[in-house]
A = this chain, B = another copy of it.
């Protein structure tokens, strides 16, 4: 049975669904419709195109074998018709037609469909502030806009840029502007950390420190109120002051494009995303939808969630293609994952952050471990920092985060935990997670296993922790004399601090602790410190054996304090 499939939107999910369907039903006809003539490109590559890492926009639109995926390509290679510069205006579900309009000559026509796919994607939010429509103010929406940004940079029009929003796209754009173009770049974020809702404050602080080392200024807790300029933007006015800027990038999130679905009477969520079942069908079984315009099940909470991601779009596209051809494929949902390159570091997460987990009602805690990414004796290695979020009651793992150098080391660990999250692992599963081991790649007791062990020790009351955030607070309040900082490293490491702060910083190396137990202050809480948190844990146990229990092991140790940019 030959059928006609109409696909609205030809960037990521649309072409994937169309091609998969055609491979299964080559005798059927597919028509794709897109309002642009730039189609089927890797939108996630825009920051790398702007930076110059990707020299030409056509590379984002090419196959891995260097063919440009334009309308002609789809015609010749895939036997799929594409109507470019064509906007979908409305759907008549009874007649099973879509009214489309050519944006060049305004001509309208009705396309009849047997089954329809909505791949309408999302659009970037624009702050509703004065000056938002000035020249030089951009969002990161599509390839046309990316080319305009790059042209502005290439023309030398930009000396100072402001990025509004410190989410993933904002940070990628900030790096693109500052790194290769050498533009004085400031990121303004209304929340109290970068990547809010995505990573912990600890991780965010370390990444922010690295951004600042690379000359990107970061301003938190600040709200942009107005953009000023005559022909083009010149100033950014916030609730805290005024700043010069020749270019402003708004990266404050995206909104699903669901108007067409909404007007057609399909169910749309309160957040504006199209509602689909596991087969990616909308409330009309002849209409499928996927990608940035839908919400899917969050496999950790069981609730519908919005995960805009080119990777999910591709996989959902395949599911839709299969089902269009009479198959029964399912997209069960997602746990939510994220990875970003920030100059020379990588930062990743899967599942929930501690804050999100608490907001969702879990009695959650997080543990933090820093450790080498390879065998500690292997010459090339780097320190990694990871955090595990677990539920106290069930010991279920709710999320994981990692930060490290720009190898795939963080990617490898967070990938592995992300992969098992949907199976509901406990800390024991993380302790025993079977990761590949050889000294050039990992440690015999890998950081992931160490995370599981640490979580278990904390849950059993065996290890009592504070994190760097809390440490920073206690350290600033040290004049109050409410705590003593006990350095458990060798004298060589401890000396500079012990000499600079003789009242607050005591040095007793952990291996001398048993002999020097009478030197330990017993009247105040002790903050135990070493390089990564391993020796201070050992010291905590030594002290507990002697009845000294009001102690706090600084998780991640001085390595983390340093990465945080905290200057003692």
Chain B residues whose CB sits within 8 angstroms of the CB of A542 once the complex forms: 26
Residue A147 is within 8 A (CB to CB) of chain B in the complex: no
Whether A339 lies near B419 (C-beta < 8 A) is no
Residues of B within 8 A of A414 (CB): 436
Indicate whether A24 reaches chain B with its CB closer than 8 angstroms.
Answer: yes
Tell me whether A434 and B335 are in contact (CB under 8 A): yes
State A542–B12 Cα separation when bound (angstroms): 23
Partner of A375, one of B45, B309, B428: B45
Contacting A379 at CB < 8 Å: which of B53, B376, B436, B438? B53
Residue interface bits A189-225, CB-to-B below 8 A is 1, else 0? 0000000000000000000000000000000000000
For A60, what are the chain B residues with a Cβ–Cβ distance below 8 Å? 377
Partner of A42, one of B27, B375, B420, B446: B375
Query: Chain A: interface residue count, which band?
Result: 35 or more
C-alpha gap A62/B375 in the complex (Å)? 11
Residues of B within 8 A of A442 (CB): 311, 339, 411
Q: Could you tell me if A44 and B339 are in contact, using CB atoms closer than 8 angstroms? A: no
Contact of A444 among B62, B313, B538 (CB under 8 A): B313
Q: Quick one: closest B residue to A542, CB to CB?
A: B26
Contact with B along A327-340 (1 / 0, CB 8 A): 00111101101111
Chain B residues with CB below 8 A from A417, complex form: 419
Is A439 interfacial (CB 8 A cutoff)? yes
Interchain nearest-CB distance for A277 vs B (Å): 16
**Residue-wise interface mask of A (7-30) relative to B, using a CB-CB cutoff of 8 A (1 in contact, 0 not):** 000001000100000011011000
What residue of chain B has the Cβ atom nearest to residue A544's Cβ?
Answer: B26
In residues 328-366 of chain A, which contact B (Cβ within 8 Å)?
Answer: 329-332, 334-335, 337-341, 346, 348, 350
CB distance from A502 to the nearest CB of B (A): 24
Q: Looking at the assembled complex, report how far the CB atom of A248 sits from the nearest CB atom of chain B, in whole angstroms.
A: 24
Among A85-93, A120-128, A239-247, A529-537, the one that faces the other chain is A529-537
A297: chain B residues at CB < 8 Å are none
Q: What's the least CB distance linking A92 to chain B, in Å?
A: 32
Residue A315 interfacial (CB < 8 Å): yes
Partner of A310, one of B315, B437, B535: B437
Contact status A318-B416, CB under 8 Å: no
Q: Is the interface of A mostly helix, strand, loop or mixed?
A: mixed
Q: Is the CB of B314 within 8 A of A445?
A: yes
A417 to B434, CA, bound (A): 10
Chain A positions 82 through 113: 1 when the CB is less than 8 Å from some CB of chain B, otherwise 0: 00000000000000000000000000000000
Please name all residues of chain B whose beta carbon is closer than 8 Å to the beta carbon of A534 when the two chains form the complex: 64-65
A437 contacts across to B, CB distance below 8 A: 44, 309-311, 337, 339
Is the pair B407, A438 in contact by a Cβ cutoff of 8 Å?
no
A520 within 8 A of B: no
For the complex, give the distance between the alpha carbons of A65 and B371 in Å.
11
> Which B residues are in CB contact (< 8 Å) with A446?
311
Contact call A438/B76, Cβ cutoff below 8 A: no
Across the interface, do A531 and B54 meet the contact criterion of CB distance under 8 Å? no
Q: Is A491 an interface residue (CB 8 A)?
A: no
Q: Chain B residues with Cβ under 8 A from A489's Cβ? A: 65
A406 to B440, CA, bound (A): 9
Query: Does chain B have a CB within 8 A of A541?
Result: yes
The answer to whether residues A434 and B412 also contact, given A42-B439, A311-B444, A444-B310 and a CB cut-off of 8 A, is: no
Name the distance in Å between A536's Cβ and chain B's nearest Cβ. Answer: 11
Q: Is A474's beta carbon under 8 Å from chain B?
A: no
> Interface 1/0s, chain A 490-506, versus B by CB < 8 A?
10000000000000000
Alpha-carbon separation in the docked complex, A311 to B94 (Å): 62
Instruction: Kindly state whether residue A476 has any CB partner on chain B within 8 Å.
Output: no
Q: A377 to chain B: which residues have CB within 8 Å?
A: 42, 45, 48, 54, 59-60, 62
In the complex, the 8 A-B pairs of residues with the closest C-beta atoms, listed nearest first: A408-B408, A311-B437, A412-B412, A64-B376, A339-B436, A416-B419, A310-B444, A26-B545
User: Can you list 18 A-B contacts with CB-CB less than 8 angstroms, sorted by A residue number?
Assistant: A42-B377, A42-B444, A45-B378, A53-B378, A54-B377, A62-B377, A63-B376, A77-B511, A310-B444, A311-B442, A334-B434, A335-B434, A407-B408, A411-B412, A415-B435, A418-B435, A418-B436, A423-B423
Taking A77-B510, A310-B444, A313-B444 as known contacts, 16 extra A-B pairs with beta carbons closer than 8 A to each other, sorted by chain A number, are A45-B375, A45-B377, A48-B379, A59-B377, A60-B377, A73-B511, A310-B437, A339-B437, A339-B441, A339-B442, A341-B438, A412-B412, A414-B436, A416-B416, A417-B419, A422-B434
